[in-house]
Structure 1
Amino acid sequence: MPPSTPPTIPGFAYHRIPVATDVSLNVAVGGSGGTPVVLLHGFPQTHLMWRHVAADLAADHLVICPDLRGYGASDKPAEPAENADPTTYSKRTMAADIVMLARALGYDRFALVGHDRGALVAIRAGLDHPDTVTHLASLDVLPTLDMWDVLHGTTAAVAFHLYLMAQPPGLPEQLIGAAPDAFFGHFLDQWTRDSESAAIPDDIRAAYLKASREAVPSIVADYRASAGIDIEHDLTDRESGNRLRMPVTVLQQDWGAALGFDAAARWAAWATDLRHRTVSCGHFMAEEAPAEVTEAVRDLLTRTP
């Protein structure tokens, strides 16, 4: 029986674009005209999480959906075994990848939408490249510093994976690699509001699990950076007063109430032009509530940078 064809976003063209030394990204590009919009996926997903939103936005925008470095079909550079370079999967490095990707496609300015890990990359891109990122949307994540600040006590158990993957190289990779489908599948199940819904159909789920199985070391390295060098970069910005100067839209579940913090206030410290609202779906909102996400992105793009 021949192998099944991997799922794609219908109507989008696929490319491999070099963005750094020995690093090329897998990217789906569709649509034309309007403000270019780059969509960055989260964990444990690939660019396919944007399949509904991307198809809608492509009616009047150029839409660019890459797999982040270390994920999906993009390259997965290894962390150096000795004298480890913590910048390999820093959000600063991953943000620079996206800027280079857009330039390779002919765009010096673009709107940026990120979910989960992709949102952390988008935030860093907005802080580091304010003249490049025209608009920014973040789906269901807090900036790195705030994420660590609000996790405490038994409520932090919901984010056990953050602590596991923050450990030095070796143990987390071994533990996750021993049962990758169980590990990554746990989040696909637990973070979906309605586990019986068709938000993540079988072929997409299989693609996510396959991609994650093949990327355990790089996924762990991405998370490890968020417990180290990413904090350093965020602290520097906080101390210097660097903020997101473009229009910012944030969509989040109301987990701030559950964990005892004001998510909108946390975000207001980082963005000068902020629209923050909670949504009623689960974590994978681009797949569970794509119309609501698309509407929010379209509203964002109407705001004057």
Structure 2
Amino acid sequence: MSAAVGSSPPDVTAAARRLSPVAGAALGVSCAVLALVPWLAGGARLPQQVLWAEPVPSPLPVALLPLSPFSLIDVLAVLVVGPALAGAALRLVRRSRRMTVDRRSVLGAGAGVLGVQAVTGVQALTTVASGLPERTASDVYLAALALLVATGVGTGLVLLALLTAEPKAPVVLGVTLTALLAGGWPTAVLAPLGLLGVLGPVGGRLGTNGSLEAAWLAPVAVGAVIGWAGLRTRGRALAAAAALLLLWAGPAVITAVTMAVGYRVAWHYPGELVGYGAQVLLASLSSTGSTVRAIALAAAVAVVVGGAIAVARRGTPRRDDAGVDDAGVDDSGPA
């Protein structure tokens, strides 16, 4: 039967150009594996454990995650960088306008990331369990490490959702959290490329604690994403304020938790452990010198990036004058 006169053929372009869930899953798997590369390249030997039975093997066995009470930020870094990379990749694909990225594509990427991280988490926990003596303290110890892995996986999936959101305000928060939780992952990637010789002295002058990430990379990333998003809507302005607040408080919280967990003497006295962590947190928050430098650097980068984008867009039609984001989403309210 012939088609009716004047009827248009079915539109199959959008379906043909949609990033399928399978392709999204492949992207998620690739990004999750990429996040493991610095750890695997370093030998992937399990860090020293607290409750392992004697004699402790030397070298320690291979583990796909650096599970240990003394490497909290390293575990979180490996688990959040993969989803963050997947989220950034999906956003770039969508911005290229050559392919449609919908919720199913994002769910596919999340499934791919989750699959890899489930394998790595189970393998690492099994490796730790193999050396623990059979007692109640070992069960609590293993449960705490499992909670750490679950926290990292859950945080990573939240970052994936933030970075693939259509409004820009969630992206600002996603980039900020990623920059703060990435730990030494950027350094591990930059070191083989020979770039730390240039960035290291800069980071050393700008910050304290000898942390290139906290002193240089995190403020630059936060400032760049604020400059990219701008402050034209209430949601973006609130996100920028929250990002600067996280830049101030985030490193202090991470330092307090890391040092408290590493205070082995107080492990059997929870009250003392919490008190010690609170003291470290207050001391870190009151260290105004490094905080002012980090926020000033982020603000300067935001101004430069925002100005450069404004100049590049001069003479082109503005798409968000009414508080509508690039993707056509109303971003005028809190995101």
TM-score (normalised: structure 1): 0.29
TM-score (normalised: structure 2): 0.27
Point out the structure with max Rg over C-alpha: 2
Bigger share in helix: 2
Bigger share in strand: 1
